[in-house]
Amino acid sequence: MKRRLKRADYQIPPTELAVYLLGKVFVGANGAFGRIIETEAYGGGNDPASHGNRGPTPRNQVMFGEAGHLYVYFTYGMHYCTNVVAGEKGECAAVLIRALEPLGGMEKMKNARLKTFGKGAIKETNLCSGPAKLAQALGIGIKQNGIDLTKPTPKQKVHIYDDGFIPEKPGKFYAASPRIGISSGQNLLWRHFFPENPYLSSTSS
């Protein structure tokens, strides 16, 4: 059974949404999809590492909007990162999708990755094992910034659904750690992931 996540599912604090999204299935703009195995929470209060920490700007305005929308930003001159807006309207909160376990559309993922990088980029464990990798593999770019995940259409396929996946160890099925790649807020254990999963982002341990 498949259930597409609805608005209310997203209207919770980012730290809760980061855990809730683990195990759910993320469908990309090109139809490829994978299971969410690694997330990070941002904002939702005083978070020095959040893009919205110093108030709204043209880039981060989506983070202040309605939950259930996609926040995509460009970074390091060549990469996109994919976030899901959380919390209440007016609040700045989002969850970064850091890694997926590929489930379908593997050929599409490989083709997308092959375009800009070499052969080494299309190993199955290299397809979605990082925020910029999965964005590229699933066709997520700046055009997807601000789209509504609760209302996919034939043109906008991006959404998240629950396929009834049950973690192996209910109650203690995920681990928490400091977030990766940030220069402040390292004290917060806001990264959540399935431990010992071979598809985790490579910068994780």
- Residues forming the site for DNA (CB under 7 A): 40, 42-43, 49-52, 54, 57-60, 63, 71, 73-79, 81, 83, 94, 96, 113, 117-121, 126, 130-133, 179-183, 201-203
77 or 198, CB closer to DNA?
Answer: 77
Q: Minimal distance in Å, beta carbon 12 to DNA? A: 17
At closest approach, how far in Å is the CB of 154 from DNA?
A: 28
Q: C-alpha distances in angstroms, 102 versus 37, 38, 55, 166?
A: 10, 13, 35, 17
Q: Which is nearer to DNA, 55 or 170 (CB)?
A: 55
Looking up tokens 């855990």 gives 19
Residues in the chain: 205
Q: Which is nearer to DNA, 23 or 44 (CB)?
A: 44
**Beta strands 3-4 and 70-75, pairing class:** unpaired
Write the DSSP assignment of 69-93 as a string of letters.
BEEEEEETTTEEEEEEE-SSTTS-E
Cβ at position 8, least distance to DNA in Å: 22
Shortest approach of DNA to residue 89 CB, angstroms? 17
